[in-house]
Amino acid sequence: MEYSNRENINLIEKTKEHAELIAALIAGIFILLAWRLDTSGQTTASVLLYVIAFCVGGFAKAKEGIEETIEDKKLNVELLMVLAAIGSAAIGYWTEGAILIFIFAVSGALETYAMNKSHREISALMNLQPEEAWLVRGNFEPMKVSVSTLQIGDHLLIKPGERIPADGIIFKGQSSIDESAISGEPLPVLKSEGDEIFAGTVNLNGAITMEMTKANSETLFQKIIQLVQSAQSEKSPSQQFIEKFEGTYVKFVLLGVAIMMFLPHFVLGWDWTTTFYRAMVLLVVASPCALVASIMPATLAAISNGAKNGVLFKGGLHLEHLSVLRALAVDKTGTLTQGKPVVTDFIIREGIDRDMALAILAGIETQSNHPLAQAITTYAKSEGITVFPQATIEDIPGWGIKGTIHNNEYQVGKPEFVDAQRANDFANGAAAKLAAQGKTVIFIRDQNGIMALTALKDTVRNEAKKAVSLLKELGIQVVMLTGDNEKTAKVIAKEAGVTEHVAECLPETKVTEMKRLLSQYQFVGMVGDGINDAPALATATTGIAMGEGTDVALETADVVLMKNDLSKIAYAVRLSRKMQRIVKQNIVFSIGVITLLIASNFLQVVDLPLGVIGHEGSTILVILNGLRMLNKNV
């Protein structure tokens, strides 16, 4: 059977993990047999079994320690453990040395499991993307082809229960789609013609035909995998410090052991056996295994947790920064708001037929690509209005549109274009009241004056209000930055519940505001989705991009929300703070255990077996504590 690359990687990781555990168990069996022989007086046979236990249990770690020492040109904890075991055997403490090797092998297998657990999360993601798809061409029967052969524009059939093989839009049909692999949300989403769908998600019930819009290597799913893989290879500042500290610390331990092998004999009057024995105990208990394992397992587990819940971190550094976030700047359009205006009011002149007026307005606007024009056309269709298709238009940039229907001329646009005085007086000054509510007002005029007005507004996302509230509960101030006018910005800010707002922002203004916030709060995040947000995202302590945003925003940001759900930011902050708590617990615990064991060794109240159990037991505990980050409840 042939395996793909990702299957081979999985197999190698599992084999290594199982091999380390099996080696530890075999070593444990030999230790038990050797101990039984030793207690029955068969010393030579027991020593032989102990040597086998040393070789079986310690080979992997000894090899790893020697290779890393040669490659990095610095000492490491693996070498300390091997030296301690050999030293114990040298003074006749074979059982203690073998137990040290056994527990060290078990903790090594557990650490490998912790690392591989994070890698398997990515492998599981990769396995969600199908390798084959049903290609539809003309009236021919769908044929199964490799996903790697697909091209942009291809039509693909997705049957109920199948995973979607590529990013695209629904060309025909409708169905409920399970997007939990992308967004982390368990509830399926109803999708119909024209809606966007993503590779790796599941078509639950109806058969649909989709049109592929992105190359296989550019899908949202591939971006998730690439981002998380990159995050796993990037070490946090804390981890980098611990690794630098490890080499220096090991040198001090070896120096301390060297002194311990002689000084107590002359100063405290210990015999040579006791002196050497205590030096070996010091070599074991002073080793920083638990300290070294305090950060990486927790960090990798947190990154995996975020990936499963639709939050992608580009590295441990950004996880750490989120834990100390004090303020968050958010873009308005497409972030706090839907980014698409909707019609909220349609007011007509007395004596005018409402449906006719709306049909005329939509007939003119349907030929424009402006977002406001599209919103009006969508509104008319939702009202069941048949749009006039015969309109001819003339676009007046910056002002509005002139349209002609059945030889009747109409003007659509701002007040100054249709007659400012009449527009302001229309419907008892309705325009001013609507503008005060943050709405954009569009007028249509015929030969008899103002015919109707339409008010539109970019509505605040429901999840945005919830997200702002959650962030405030976490002690994070939320600041809205927008290029919109002050009146509209004030209304949106009040509706969303943000702490403060800054209106009429250009890209460079956003950067200036970010610098101001950084000087005030020190740790500031920025959320955006457009090209104009990229400079501010780069300036922030932590740049957060919406998953549906532009490629520039995605590449510039440090954290990506795969679904445009701001409440995930609060989840990410809680995740980060929990990780920091666990890391601090691990560090304090590991240093405390090392200090206690070293002091106990000098007082001769801890022997080598207990020292081994205390040292290696603390290492296992900090790894297990770090794996708590895989728990979804944060």
154, 178, 331, 484: which one is catalytic? 331
Strands 196-197, 143-146: pairing is unpaired
Among this protein's residues, is 195 annotated catalytic?
A: no
Per CATH, the number for 342-457 is: 3.40.1110.10
Q: Which amino acid is at 150?
A: L
HSE of 600, CA atoms in CB hemisphere, 13 A: 19
> What secondary structure, in 3-state letters, does 208-252 show?
EEEEECCCHHHCHHHHHHHHHHHHHHCCCHHHHHHHHHHHHHHHH
Structure-block tokens of residue 462? 């429901």
Q: What is the pLDDT of residues 492-522, one digit of tens each?
A: 888 889 989 988 776 677 888 889 999 999 9
Q: What is the three-state SS of 335-384?
A: HHECCCCEEEEEEECCCCCHHHHHHHHHHHHCCCCCHHHHHHHHHHHHCC
Which residue, among 183, 124, 123, 128, has the nearest Cα to 310 in the 3D structure? 183
User: Does 315-338+461-561 match 342-457 in CATH topology?
Assistant: no
Q: What is the mean pLDDT of each run of 10 residues along the chain (634 residues)?
A: 42 58 82 82 82 81 75 71 78 78 75 62 59 84 87 90 89 84 64 86 87 79 60 59 72 85 85 83 81 83 82 80 91 77 89 90 82 85 79 76 87 86 87 83 89 88 87 93 79 88 79 90 84 75 74 69 81 93 93 91 82 81 87 73
Q: Check residue 121 and give its pLDDT.
A: 53
**What was the pLDDT predicted at 609?**
73
Chosen CATH of 132-216 out of 3.20.20.70, 2.70.150.10, 3.90.45.10, 3.10.180.10: 2.70.150.10
Label the pairing between strands 477-481 and 327-331. parallel
Element spanning 559, H or E: strand 559-561
- Residue 522 phi/psi, 5-degree rounding, is 75, -50
Architecture of the domain delimited by 315-338+461-561: 3-Layer(aba) Sandwich (3.40)
Strand, coil or helix: 536: helix
pLDDT of the residue at 389: 66
Domain ranges of the chain: 5-124+229-301+576-630, 132-216, 315-338+461-561, 342-457
User: C-alpha distances in angstroms, 325 versus 4, 220, 525, 577, 627?
Assistant: 42, 27, 7, 10, 24
How is residue 414 written in tokens?
């701002």
8 Å CB contact between 257 and 284: no
pLDDT, tens digit (0-9, with 9 covering 90-100), for 335-353:
788 777 889 999 998 888 8
What integer best gives the mean pLDDT of the chain?
80
The gap between the terminal CA atoms of the chain, to the nearest Å, is 42
User: DSSP E strands: which ranges in 416-529?
Assistant: 440-446, 449-457, 477-481, 500-502, 524-528
The confidence score (pLDDT) of residue 331 equals 81
**To which H or E segment does residue 571 belong?**
helix 567-602
pLDDT of residue 7: 47
At 5 the pLDDT is 45
Q: 420 CB contacts (<8 Å, ≥6 apart)?
A: none
